[in-house]
Amino acid sequence: MARVTLRNASLCCLGVWAAIWFVFLLLRFTPFDIRVIPGIGTIMLTALAAVLVAPIVAIALAGAASLRQPRIAANWLTLGCAVAAFFAQALLFLVTRWL
Protein backbone atom coordinates (compact mmCIF):
# COMPACT_ATOMS: atom_id res chain seq x y z
CA MET A 1 0.00 0.00 0.00
CA ALA A 2 1.28 3.43 -0.85
CA ARG A 3 2.36 5.69 2.00
CA VAL A 4 -0.19 8.45 1.45
CA THR A 5 -3.17 6.33 0.39
CA LEU A 6 -4.86 6.38 3.79
CA ARG A 7 -4.42 10.12 4.19
CA ASN A 8 -5.74 10.77 0.68
CA ALA A 9 -8.76 8.55 1.30
CA SER A 10 -9.44 10.43 4.53
CA LEU A 11 -9.21 13.76 2.72
CA CYS A 12 -11.60 12.46 0.06
CA CYS A 13 -14.09 11.51 2.79
CA LEU A 14 -13.84 15.00 4.24
CA GLY A 15 -14.26 16.50 0.77
CA VAL A 16 -17.42 14.49 0.13
CA TRP A 17 -18.69 15.48 3.59
CA ALA A 18 -18.12 19.18 2.87
CA ALA A 19 -19.63 18.97 -0.62
CA ILE A 20 -22.83 17.33 0.59
CA TRP A 21 -23.22 19.85 3.41
CA PHE A 22 -22.69 22.65 0.90
CA VAL A 23 -25.47 21.22 -1.27
CA PHE A 24 -27.76 20.96 1.77
CA LEU A 25 -27.06 24.59 2.67
CA LEU A 26 -27.49 25.67 -0.93
CA LEU A 27 -30.89 24.00 -1.07
CA ARG A 28 -31.87 25.56 2.23
CA PHE A 29 -31.05 29.14 1.32
CA THR A 30 -32.32 29.17 -2.27
CA PRO A 31 -35.95 29.30 -3.39
CA PHE A 32 -35.52 26.11 -5.45
CA ASP A 33 -38.05 23.49 -4.29
CA ILE A 34 -36.75 19.95 -4.72
CA ARG A 35 -39.88 18.24 -3.40
CA VAL A 36 -41.38 18.12 -6.89
CA ILE A 37 -38.57 15.90 -8.21
CA PRO A 38 -39.64 12.23 -8.20
CA GLY A 39 -37.41 9.99 -6.07
CA ILE A 40 -35.52 12.84 -4.42
CA GLY A 41 -36.40 11.61 -0.93
CA THR A 42 -34.33 8.47 -1.35
CA ILE A 43 -31.42 10.43 -2.78
CA MET A 44 -31.48 12.98 0.05
CA LEU A 45 -31.75 10.24 2.68
CA THR A 46 -28.75 8.49 1.16
CA ALA A 47 -26.84 11.78 1.14
CA LEU A 48 -27.70 12.32 4.80
CA ALA A 49 -26.44 8.83 5.65
CA ALA A 50 -23.21 9.54 3.77
CA VAL A 51 -22.79 12.81 5.68
CA LEU A 52 -23.23 11.02 8.99
CA VAL A 53 -20.74 8.25 8.17
CA ALA A 54 -18.05 10.25 6.33
CA PRO A 55 -16.37 11.88 9.38
CA ILE A 56 -16.23 8.54 11.20
CA VAL A 57 -14.57 6.86 8.22
CA ALA A 58 -12.22 9.83 7.85
CA ILE A 59 -11.23 9.54 11.53
CA ALA A 60 -10.52 5.83 11.12
CA LEU A 61 -8.45 6.32 7.97
CA ALA A 62 -6.50 9.28 9.34
CA GLY A 63 -5.90 7.42 12.60
CA ALA A 64 -4.52 4.44 10.71
CA ALA A 65 -2.30 6.76 8.65
CA SER A 66 -1.06 8.43 11.84
CA LEU A 67 -0.29 5.07 13.41
CA ARG A 68 1.61 3.90 10.33
CA GLN A 69 3.64 7.13 10.02
CA PRO A 70 3.55 9.03 13.32
CA ARG A 71 6.22 11.57 12.33
CA ILE A 72 4.33 12.95 9.34
CA ALA A 73 2.55 16.15 10.40
CA ALA A 74 0.03 15.99 7.54
CA ASN A 75 -1.39 12.77 8.99
CA TRP A 76 -2.01 14.42 12.34
CA LEU A 77 -3.48 17.49 10.65
CA THR A 78 -5.88 15.30 8.68
CA LEU A 79 -6.86 13.47 11.85
CA GLY A 80 -7.49 16.78 13.60
CA CYS A 81 -9.65 18.01 10.72
CA ALA A 82 -11.66 14.78 10.74
CA VAL A 83 -12.24 15.00 14.49
CA ALA A 84 -13.23 18.66 14.18
CA ALA A 85 -15.69 17.80 11.40
CA PHE A 86 -17.20 15.05 13.54
CA PHE A 87 -17.64 17.29 16.57
CA ALA A 88 -18.99 20.17 14.48
CA GLN A 89 -21.56 17.86 12.94
CA ALA A 90 -22.50 16.40 16.32
CA LEU A 91 -22.92 19.90 17.74
CA LEU A 92 -25.07 20.90 14.76
CA PHE A 93 -27.35 17.92 15.25
CA LEU A 94 -27.59 18.49 19.00
CA VAL A 95 -28.46 22.18 18.60
CA THR A 96 -31.15 21.80 15.95
CA ARG A 97 -34.68 21.24 17.17
CA TRP A 98 -36.05 19.38 14.16
CA LEU A 99 -34.53 16.10 15.31
Task: Produce one character per residue of 21-36: b if its CB has 16 or more CB atoms within 10 Å, e if not.
Answer: beeeeeeeeeeeeeee
Is residue 95's pLDDT more than 80?
yes
Mean pLDDT in residue range 12-29: 92
Mean pLDDT in residue range 7-15: 94
Rounded Cα–Cα distance for residues 91 and 51 (Å): 14
Q: What is the pTM of this model?
A: 0.86
Q: Please tell me whether residue 49 adopts helix, strand or coil conformation.
A: helix
Residue-wise pLDDT for 75-94, tens only, equals 999 999 999 999 999 998 88
User: For the chain, what are the domain ranges?
Assistant: 5-95
Task: Name, in order, each residue with C-beta under 8 angstroms of 40's C-beta and a sequence gap of 6 or more.
Answer: 34
Residue-wise pLDDT for 27-79, tens only, equals 888 888 888 889 888 999 999 999 999 999 999 999 999 999 999 899 999 99
For residue 75, give the amino acid letter.
N
Range of weakest confidence among 8-12, 18-22, 26-30, 69-73: 26-30
